[in-house]
Structure 1
Amino acid sequence: MRRPSGWRAWIALAVVILLLGTVLLVGDGLAPEPTPLPGPPQNAPRVLVALGDSTVSGEGAGDYEPGTDGENGDWCHRSPHASINETGLQPIDRVYNLACSGAPSPQVGLGDVEQYTEPSQAKRLAPIAARNRVVAVVVAAGANDEPAFSHVLNACVEAWTGRGRPCGETVGPEWSDRVEAMEPKLTRALEDVREVMRNAGYAESDYQLVVQSYAAPVGPDVVADLQDLSGCPFRTEDLEWVQQKAVPILTAGVREAAAKVGARFLDLSRAGVGHEACTHEKDTSQEWFRRLAVEWEDLQHEDRATHALQESFHPNEAGHEQIGRCLGEFLNTPDRAAACLPGRDGSLHAATSTGS
């Protein structure tokens, strides 16, 4: 067969090109369109959500929500005075506090871990995100993993009684390793939160994910007359270790986990300086943390006795109010990181942090 030549060859080539273009166009038109995820509800109520442990549940602030004060084994101690309720952020239609006292990171994330009978906090976040316009998710977690911060404070109290060496000596050498072991667990929990929000149709730019650290509830400026069972039974060297080493190292670990998931970070490590438990002998209104607190009536009941000291060394109502105000200021800024520090008015304010 002879090949077309001359002008006939050019016509043939043009026909082939047109046919090929038609096939490509038809093929593109038949390709299935990816199913878009539902976007975050635009006209639904705007809400804040808190996930985490006692520092955000409201432990120490009192007036606990029915069902979270020991009923049926639930000791999550969620309070209407918790910091997430004190942000003053506008316009916000509702606050959901899913935090639970003592919660480890795996219970904050997805999975089957329970805390005081309550299931995964991240799973409970999913329907909230679907029904509402979530403005921010605030997470405080990590201290109840390997660091076991509350148990460390208990060890410090035992050291004061003379039944052990200073906790700074017994725990101090392994503290950095404990915090390092905590980091991947907290990171995974934060990744789970991201996954829940992504599955609800949220892009990371649609909401704020804020991770906050922990404040030192006690410090070396304790009033000498209160350095006993009447308030703060700690050795001075342990008070110094908690404020100057334990809390800063824990803060660095939480900051690292936040950075790995692109979350904003609020540093509370110095939020209580000058307002720790037992720093004001007569004017306790200046203290933002509970002293050694004993619910004497609970000691009379077997099912409550083991929780009679649960509120000790947590932010009190005033402390939650201060932290909440600082959190609200931070949420209103574009800063990736900030620290809650006292201003000239004596209250906490969000100061831009360079350690983001």
Structure 2
Amino acid sequence: MITSPSTRSKALAAAAATVCVLTVSGALPASASASRTASAAPAEAPLLVSVGDSFISGEAGRWAGNSNRSADGYSGTDRAWNPATGKSDPYWVYGSSYDNGCNRSDVAEVQSVTLDVSRLNLACSGATSKAVLLPESGGEPFKGERSQARELEDVAAGRAVRAVVVSIGGNDLGFSDIITDCATEFVKPYGGDPCAPDAAEQVAQRLPGVRQAAVNTLADVRTALDRAGHPAGSYRLILQSYPSPLPDAGRIRYPGEKYDRLKSGGCPFFDKDLTWAHDELVPEISSVLADAADQSDAEFLDLSRSFEGREVCSTSTRQADATHSPSGDTSEWIRFVTSGLGQGQKQESLHPNRYGQQALGTCLTLQLEQPSGDRRCTNTPGRGPAAMRLNSIG
């Protein structure tokens, strides 16, 4: 359920030149394995591997849009809802990864790719670069699992590898803590202040470290693959950025900085903070990651504007209810901020939901169908996840 004024002090948010235009049409794939085990495709199909954090592990994939109506599995948005029992079972979506909170969903980005590949999702919700790095580089076990690069080294041995796609840096930046502080200011009983001025200073100080963390991560992924018998040039290495989870203040459905943003919308932020996060924070992170990819001779997939108009509380989306079913054409593609007391987990907040993850899967499909290069992915207004577009950069 959405946080209410009585619990607002505990509000949390999890964690933020065109050459050609390409589109994918048609249905997206049904669910696939959510575990670290390579999912079943033809045995000879090359591996497509995801490495990194919650934005690529599949966090929030349980939800198809957002709803404040508790009936019928929250108006059909809870994909784990069993109408026969009237209960929800997150294992349907996250598989065994729900046990340790990695939350690798059945619609995670690599699971939603429409290519003839074997899919392996090593990413884990909450992971920093240390959860990916090899042990000799300072990598550490995370949530009871070995470092992702070490796991990749073993799994990739003797297997063809199509590509490894990496999402990293948000947790090294402390994105979740920053956004949580912003939400906490909004819900203070006697009124808080926008977080943007102080948060912007913190971000500026931390971004160089984020860049280095991404460079180190890409280097260790390459080392792991080299040890597994895959020299550079035999696979594609892609670093992606993050979609903005929030619209700017001019495109929010709940004007006036009132508590309906908290109680109804699940977007408890001041106008100044919304615009800062959308216009400055997400593009700055994307720019730093682009630099890291360039330094590492990796491809860069810019997702910073991929959810434009599909963000939580955006004026061009709506929640599901008794008369409006969830839809990739009309629903939000980001999980709204929840208290964790009813609708799922707090850590799912402000992550791509089912539609968002399918959209990112389309972006990655388009990227892999083209020669190596840096590209930007955007959506088609009013259309679903299969209608994403890819623009070359530079």
Question: Structure 2 length as normaliser, TM-score?
Answer: 0.72
Q: State the SS of the aligned residue for 2:289.
A: helix
Q: Distance in 1 between matches of 2:193 and 2:144?
A: 35
For the aligned residue pairs, the C-alpha RMSD in angstroms reads 2.0
1:85 aligns with 111
1:317 to 351, 354, 357: 354
Give the equivalent residue in structure 2 for 1:228: 262
Tell me, which stretches of 5 or more residues in structure 2 are unaligned? 1-42, 63-91, 321-325
Q: Sequence identity, in percent?
A: 32
Q: What residue is the counterpart of 1:289 in the other structure?
A: 334
Question: 2: distance between equivalents of 1:77 and 1:121?
Answer: 15
Match runs of 1:195-274 below 5 Å: 195-220=223-248, 221-224=251-254, 226-230=260-264, 231-274=266-309
| Distance in 2, Cα, partners of 1:164 & 1:345 | 36
Partner of 1:337: 374
Look up the match of 2:96.
67
User: Equivalents in 1 of 2:48, 2:382: separation in Å?
Assistant: 27
- CA separation in 2, counterparts of 1:344 and 1:75? 33
Residue aligning to 2:207: 179
Provide the residue aligned with 2:164 in structure 1: 137
Structure 1: runs of 5+ lacking an equivalent: 1-42, 299-306
**Secondary structure at 2:268's aligned position in 1?**
coil
Deviations 1:266-324 (A, max 9, x none): 000001110001122445633110111344359xxxxxxxx931101100000000111
Matched-pair contact (CA < 8 Å) for 1:330–1:350:
yes
Q: List aligned pairs for 1:27-46, cutoff 5 A.
A: 44-46=44-46
Aligned ranges 1:274-285 → 2 under 5 Å: 274-279=309-314, 280-282=317-319, 285=327
Q: Deviations over 1:147-178 (max 9, x none)?
A: 21111111110111136431211111231221
State the Cα distance separating 1:343 from its structure 2 match.
3.6
Larger relative contact order, structure 1 or 2 (CA cutoff 8 Å, min sep 6): 2
- Report SS of the residue matched to 2:95: coil
User: TM-score of the superposition, structure 1-length normalised?
Assistant: 0.79
Equivalent residue number for residue 123 of structure 2: 99
Aligned-partner Cα distance in 2 for 1:254–1:188: 12
CA–CA distance in 2 between the matches of 1:79 and 1:344?
26
CA distance in 2, matches of 1:214, 1:344: 19
Q: Distance in 2 between matches of 1:205 and 1:313?
A: 36
Distance in structure 1 (CA, Å) of the matches to 2:355 and 2:286: 22
Superposed CA offset, 1:4-55 (max 9, x none): xxxxxxxxxxxxxxxxxxxxxxxxxxxxxxxxxxxxxxx9441110001000
Query: How far apart are residue 239 of structure 1 and its match?
Result: 0.5
SS in 2 for 1:49: strand
Deviates more, 1:340-349 or 1:271-280: 340-349
Between 181-190 and 275-284, report the one with greater CA deviation: 275-284
Tell me the equivalent position of 1:15.
none
TM-aligned CA deviation for residue 197 of structure 1: 1.0
Q: State yes or no: 1:155 paired with 2:181.
A: yes
More helix by share: 1
Distance in 1 (CA, whole Å) between partners of 2:367 and 2:201 is 34
Match of 2:31 in 1: none
